[in-house]
Amino acid sequence: MKLLEILKGLNYKVIKGNISVDINKIEYDSRKIEKGDMFVCIEGFSVDGHKYIESAYDKGAAVVMCSKQLANLPDCIVIKVDNTREALAVGASNFYDKPSEKMKLIGITGTNGKTTSTYMIKSIFQHSGYKTGLIGTIANYVGEKKIKTERTTPESLELHKLFNKMVVENVKYCIMEVSSHSLSLDRVYGLKFDEAIFTNLTQDHLDFHKNFENYYKAKLRLFKNTNNSVINIDDNYGKRIYKDIIQNKITYSTEGHGDVMAKNIIPHSRGIEFDLYYKEQSVHVNLGIPGRYNIYNALCSAAACINEGISLKNIKEGLENVVVPGRCEIVTKEYDLGFDVIIDYAHTPDGLENILNTAREFTKGKLISVFGCGGDRDRTKRPIMGRLGSEISDIAIVTSDNPRTENPDLIIEDVIKGIEKDNYIVVENRRAAIKKAIEIAKKGDIVVVAGKGHEDYQILKDRVIHFDEREVVKQIIEEVR
């Protein structure tokens, strides 16, 4: 593509060279540069792309886009912009012929519920006859084709490449998780959403945002460029978002004052039933995922689909047939143990509290929890999770999660600082912790293994090992039976 076409809509200054050239492709990783590429210098937290200009040029970069004044200019075209992250987003969109404008985008933001809600909406659209795409934590999908994901919301270059694949495959709707990081780092810069959904705001990512106000403002950015906003009006920050935005708004609630509501809620061990109301219409939903908090996920999904003209009948069908890996997933259905093991992705205080309270509702015996906290992440939530795990569980087993570069024993020390009861034990090795829980479980008990859910790996210092808790639980059951 002509460089001039890539630069359309950007405010830029040509520092050196003639921009009437063809560009092979765009890259922000100098290691991926090939002859004729454009290298965009992104300033990260630990790496500054400007330091790799020479490397990119040596590999054949025809164009360098920077945001800093360069002391030494490479012998190629040099373009300067104010913000290379924004420029990357616009340039990538232009390079792939603005694919996001050729389908409908539905974006979901919030601390918890994003993943489950994307799967619910995907199921609803599919049962309504629409081909869909999904971008999120567990995986990316183009129709039924599953693509491995590296982060919740990809960098803008990869994002537009994915959009382009969806357009080629005639995808009508793309449902995507929009993380606070991606909003702050301009990964979704310039995107126009047909539906923007707010689930909730609770403690997470304060290592990045520093305080709740910054966290909230990052989330708010999603609602500045959308046709419709779908808001959890039961959440305090949802009430604030409702006041802070002016475009079309639809609210959802279980407390009786939303546009879309759930009434007559009946929880049980294998799911939860409720009546979904919108205006004068209602439909009974038997959701196959336990947990009152999943009603909120169902309601926001229903509200967005109602805005898109989907009938309550199709919404019911989609919700009742949804499957979400690693979200309140009972992994012992095939065994007659007398107790069940549930795995869940809960890795925040609110998430852990939700899954444990959910399990408590249908636990006849003891509730046994296995949980830890990730390394190189928000340390302030660790003692909070320790306190919640101990308070709600009958037995809490504190273990390792993804310690990354931190010492797992020190992470566990942070967790147990919040524990006031003596109903906990520490088993640092995660597999051994799960085995301990299964060994002590008796008839009527529920074991909740929280923190990893769908993940099939564990990050230990400088290596990643295979660790799929579905497999681990089954192996342990075979060992102890």
- Tell me: is residue 407 an annotated ligand-binding position: no
Cα 120 to Cα 336: distance, rounded to the nearest angstrom: 30
Residue bearing tokens 């491995």: 148
Which stretches of 172-257 are DSSP H helices? Answer: 180-184, 206-209, 212-220, 236-244
- Tell me: is residue 114 an annotated ligand-binding position: yes
- Tell me: is residue 251 an annotated ligand-binding position: no
- Tell me: is residue 36 an annotated ligand-binding position: no
Cα 115 to Cα 134: distance, rounded to the nearest angstrom: 10
- Tell me: is residue 435 an annotated ligand-binding position: no
- Tell me: is residue 149 an annotated ligand-binding position: no
- Tell me: is residue 153 an annotated ligand-binding position: yes
Helix and strand numbers, DSSP H then E, in the chain: 16, 24
User: What's the CA dihedral at 221, 224, 226, 232 to 10 degrees?
Assistant: 60
Cα 218 to Cα 60: distance, rounded to the nearest angstrom: 37
Residue bearing tokens 């050239």: 21
Cα 271 to Cα 291: distance, rounded to the nearest angstrom: 7
- Tell me: is residue 110 an annotated ligand-binding position: yes
- Tell me: is residue 365 an annotated ligand-binding position: no
> To 10 degrees, what angle do helices 156-168 and 84-95 make?
20
Burial of 51-90, coded b for 16+ CB within 10 Å and e otherwise, reads ebbeebbebebbbbbbbeeeeeebebbbbbbeebbbbbbb
- Tell me: is residue 403 an annotated ligand-binding position: yes
- Tell me: is residue 377 an annotated ligand-binding position: yes
- Tell me: is residue 383 an annotated ligand-binding position: no
- Tell me: is residue 267 an annotated ligand-binding position: no
- Tell me: is residue 112 an annotated ligand-binding position: yes
Eight-state DSSP code of residue 22: B
- Tell me: is residue 363 an annotated ligand-binding position: no
- Tell me: is residue 146 an annotated ligand-binding position: no
In Å, how far are 297, 316, 360, 447 from 268, measured between CA atoms? 17, 18, 11, 16
- Tell me: is residue 24 an annotated ligand-binding position: no
Q: Which residues are annotated as a binding site for ATP?
A: 110-116
Q: Which residues are annotated as a binding site?
A: 30, 110-116, 152-153, 179, 187, 377, 401-404, 451, 455
Q: Which residues are annotated as a binding site for meso-2,6-diaminopimelate?
A: 377, 401-404, 451, 455
